[in-house]
Structure 1
Amino acid sequence: MDGEIDGEELRSVLDDEAARVVDIRSPAAFARGHIPGSENVPLGRLVDEVEQFDGDDRVVTVCPKGKSSVQAARLIASYEGFEGRVESFAPGLQGWDGPIEERGADAGGADEGPDAPF
């Protein structure tokens, strides 16, 4: 892992499209609100999907409070196929003061429960 970044650096990364921003929360939490431009790879699936980061130059991991994202960044960095830079967003989503994007129920991933049978 190459360290942690703050909100100002993350905004710069997003503006320049200089990194892949990975939100490790559940799909339902991601749908309720996430940093625009980020993608959802829940921490529980990260071990099985870590190879998808092959060829990425820079990855920034995001979680609610900046703790689990450190673990995710370390996991990605330890993958022998990954040669880029990987960082954790230090303050976590609770410390993000930028825009939040939400996905409605029609966009998929919302945790609305099962469909009614009628």
Structure 2
Amino acid sequence: MTEITAKEVESLVNKGKALNIIDVREVDEVADGKIPGAVNIPLGHVESRIDELDKSEKYIMVCRSGGRSGRAAEFLDNQGYNVINMQGGMLSWKGEVC
């Protein structure tokens, strides 16, 4: 599985890069703050909402510590999606949240 650090994601966000960030935390967790532009699809809903994703796009998967997003990334990778897991999740994120 391909991984990226929170610092690398923050750098891309700060440079204004258009990113597809999927936050797989639960709704109540995301209420405490998420990466600007991230879309919340809780891990338990990824399979049922897979039609919202485009196989021609690249997705960065995020959760609290990197475990759930790793499972989501593995699942999506097995379905033919281009995904990257953010190491350390939001616990490693030092950038802005919304």
What TM-score bracket applies, with the shorter chain setting the length?
0.7 to 0.9
Segments of 4+ in structure 1 off by > 4 A?
Answer: none
User: Gaps spanning 5+ residues in structure 1: where?
Assistant: 102-118
Q: Pick from 84, 93, 104 the counterpart of residue 90 of structure 2.
A: 93
User: Gaps spanning 5+ residues in structure 2: where?
Assistant: none
Query: Could you tell me which residue of structure 2 aligns to residue 68 of structure 1?
Result: 68
CA displacement at 1:8 relative to structure 2:
2.7
CA displacement at 1:5 relative to structure 2:
0.3
Larger relative contact order (CA 8 Å, sep ≥ 6)? 2
Matched, 1:54 2:54: yes
| Distance in 1 between residues matched to 2:50 and 2:12, nearest whole Å | 21
Computing the radius of gyration from Cα coordinates, the structure with the larger value is 1
With the length of structure 1 as denominator, give the TM-score of the two structures: 0.74
The letter of the residue matching 1:13 is L
Residues 28/56 of structure 1: CA separation in 2 closer, same or farther (3 Å cut): farther
Q: 2:7·2:93 contact (CA, 8 Å) conserved in 1?
A: no
Aligned Cα root-mean-square deviation (Å): 1.5
CA-to-partner distance for each residue in 1:22-69, whole Å, 9 max, x for gaps? 000111211221111101000000011112212442100001001111
Structure whose residues are more often strand by fraction: 2
**SS of 1:47's equivalent?**
coil
Q: 1:50·1:79 contact (CA, 8 Å) conserved in 2?
A: no
Query: Could you tell me which residue of structure 2 aligns to residue 16 of structure 1?
Result: 17
The letter of the residue matching 2:94 is D
With the length of structure 2 as denominator, give the TM-score of the two structures: 0.87
Aligned-pair identity in percent equals 28
Report how many aligned residue pairs link the two structures. 96
